[in-house]
């Protein structure tokens, strides 16, 4: 591909775009973070323009999406499938490739549930307008859902030898698991401190990913946005139990 | 593959398993609906056994999952990706293939939101224990989310010529869109009656799919479970506006 890839995502949050950024960074792919850039054909306006399904071929439903030459690919897990295939961040054989994608889709389910801890009624209302409901949903999430998801990933890692999710080699799902751990620690610091010891293999993947040279460089750069209370992982102390 | 495929899903609901069943039926693939069958190595127990990630290679997080020879593939959209590739229910070229998968993942997002209209707080509580919250979430879903999702799919169909989602040829995403329409009509009959006219292309795909010989035969068979109030699409009149 002669032109750099174009990543389209909301400019002020990590959000779902971050799972894509981590993969692009680890793969050392040149990309423009379009909505965060300034100039002709850049910025949030350029992103909105591509989402007009009446006028654009293969228009995405929502960010993030990636333009790679002639390909316009949307939905986080689908973008990672594409990057995984082209940059060896997934096994080449069908059995392994589908397994990694299944793991990623399970991570995507977890991401929806994390978001809904602070927005159980609607993304169209402020958190402040759904606080009692958020409290209930977050309580259930901490008690029931975190153990279910993290217990599953912990078992998968152990079953595959105890290093990365699928064995000795890093895949895009490991990069996403890193982001899940970082985000859960940001959103639920007290709770995560209490339970981290139950998920030592997951925590080890977090540390292994953070220490990879390209990821370490990225995390220290200003390309990595900080977590904040506009994104998916938000720290509201009243939701931390 | 010499052995028939094995589909694993909860035996008494359409749920997410139905999106897979529709694709298997259209592709005329021989499959055993394991949890609905009786005998040695069959039934819900056989399904639960495969979900033990500590003991099973490539164990799924949740149903549905499909065993196809050596492949154990989980997550609805991932199973459809696999079926699409092997049975020509998706374009063979990368651009089209990724676009269809993106559409399917958008349908998957819609399915989560439909489910959460009756379970906005937790799947671990009964609907009866979260009725006020369900009312609020369903109101927002009908008013804001249905138009956003259906408006997008309607535009996509028009953009691609007005027959199926990606043009003249059926893909697995069309089969899933059929199920979305059927399910929304079941869950929100009054509301859908009012708004169906705004989505004539989507409704046409519903009818085209229902009339396909293999699908018509399936829908009339007892392999097709009825909708009920245990599944994703539930009819609670108080949520229908």
For range B141-153, the mean pLDDT: 98
Distance of CA B139 to the CA centre of its chain: 22
Dump pLDDT digits (tens) for A131-174: 999 999 999 999 999 999 999 999 999 999 999 999 999 999 99
Using alpha carbons only, what angle is made at residue A113 by residues B12 and A143, rounded to the nearest 5 degrees?
85
CA pair distance B137, B133, nearest whole angstrom: 6
Measured between alpha carbons, how far is A221 from B195 in angstroms, rounded to an integer?
49
- Mean pLDDT, residues A63-67: 98
Confidence of residue A2 (pLDDT cuts 50, 70, 90): low
Q: Give dist(CA A71, CA A67) in Å, integer.
A: 6
Give the residues across from B164 on adjacent strands.
B167
pLDDT bin (cut points 50, 70, 90) of residue B3 is confident
List all residues 6 or more positions away from A31 whose beta carbon is below 8 Å from its beta carbon: A4, A5, A6, A7, A24, A66
Most distant pair of Cα atoms in chain B: their distance? 52
pLDDT at A1 over 50: no
CB-nearest to A156 from B53, B73, B116 is: B53
Instruction: Check CB contact under 8 Å for B99 and A53.
Output: no
- Which residues does B69 contact at the CB level (< 8 Å), separation at least 6? B1, B3
Identity of the residue in B52, B105, B121 whose CB atom sits nearest the CB atom of A137: B121
Prediction pTM value = 0.98
Joined tokens for residue A190:
């007290």
Smallest CA–CA distance, residue A156 to chain B, in Å, is: 6
Which of B141, B127, B150 has the alpha carbon at shortest distance from A121? B141
pLDDT in tens, B220-231: 999 999 999 999
- How distant, in Å, are the alpha carbons of B49, B67, B137 from that of A233? 33, 35, 21
pLDDT tens column, B31-49: 999 999 999 999 999 999 9
DSSP B173-235: HHHHHHHHHHHHHHHSHHHHHHHGGGGHHHHHHHHHHHHSHHHHHHHTSTTSPPP-TTSSS--
pLDDT given at position B2: 56
Please write the tens of the pLDDT for every residue from B182-195: 999 999 999 999 99
User: Are the beta carbons of B136 and A156 separated by less than 8 Å?
Assistant: no
Distance from CA of B135 to the nearest CA of A (A): 9
Quote ipTM for the complex. Answer: 0.98
Rg (C-alpha) for chain B, rounded Å, is 18
Q: pLDDT category, A3, cuts 50, 70, 90?
A: confident
Distance from CA of A40 to the nearest CA of B (A): 26
Task: Convert the pLDDT of each residue in A12-28 to its tens digit.
Answer: 999 999 999 999 999 99
Distance, CA of A6 to CA of A18 (rounded, Å): 14
Helices and strands (DSSP H and E) totals, chain B: 10, 4
CA B215 to CA A231: how far, in whole Å? 42
CB contact under 8 Å between B105 and A57, yes or no, is no
**φ/ψ of residue B60, rounded to 5:** -80, 155
CB contact under 8 A, B159 and A55: yes
Inter-chain touch A120–B121, beta carbons under 8 Å: yes
Query: Of B108, B159, B95, B17, which is closest to residue A66 (Cα–Cα)?
Result: B95
B-chain residues within 8 Å CB-CB of A20?
A: none
Q: Cβ contacts (< 8 Å) between A159 and chain B: which residues?
A: 53-57, 59
Q: What is the maximum alpha-carbon separation in chain A?
A: 52
Q: Which residue's structure tokens are 């409704």?
A: B203
From chain A, the residues in CB contact with B149 under 8 A are 61
- pLDDT tens, position by position, A220-234: 999 999 999 999 999
What backbone torsions phi and psi does residue A217 show, to the nearest 5 degrees? -65, -45
Nearest CA in chain A to B74: A102
B5 in Cβ contact with B72 (< 8 Å): no
Count CA within 13 A, CB hemisphere, residue A1: 14
Q: Tell me the two tokens of residue B194.
A: 């009012």
For residue B1, the model assigns a pLDDT of: 45
């Amino acid at each position: 591909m002669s032109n750099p890839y174009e990543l389209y995502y909301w400019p002020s949050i990590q959000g779902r775009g971050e799972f894509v950024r981590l993969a692009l960074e680890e793969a050392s792919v040149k990309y423009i973070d379009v909505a965060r850039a300034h100039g002709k054909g850049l910025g949030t306006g350029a992103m909105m323009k591509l989402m007009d399904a009446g006028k654009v071929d293969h228009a995405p439903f929502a960010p993030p999406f990636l333009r790679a030459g002639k390909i316009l690919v949307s939905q986080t897990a689908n973008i990672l499938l594409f990057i995984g295939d082209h940059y060896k961040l997934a096994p080449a054989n069908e059995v392994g490739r589908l397994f990694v994608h299944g793991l990623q889709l399970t991570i995507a389910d977890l991401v929806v549930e994390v978001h809904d801890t602070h927005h159980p009624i609607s993304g169209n209302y402020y958190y402040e307008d759904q606080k009692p409901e958020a409290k209930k949903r977050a309580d259930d999430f901490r008690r029931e859902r975190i153990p279910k998801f993290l217990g599953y990933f912990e078992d998968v890692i152990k079953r595959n030898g105890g290093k990365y999710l699928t064995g000795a080699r890093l895949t895009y799902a490991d990069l996403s698991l890193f982001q899940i751990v970082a985000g859960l620690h940001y959103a639920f610091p007290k709770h995560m401190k209490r339970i981290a010891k139950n998920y030592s293999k997951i925590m080890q993947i977090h540390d292994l990913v953070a220490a990879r040279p390209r990821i370490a460089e990225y995390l220290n750069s200003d390309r990595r946005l900080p977590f904040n209370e506009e994104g998916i992982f938000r720290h509201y102390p009243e939701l931390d139990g």
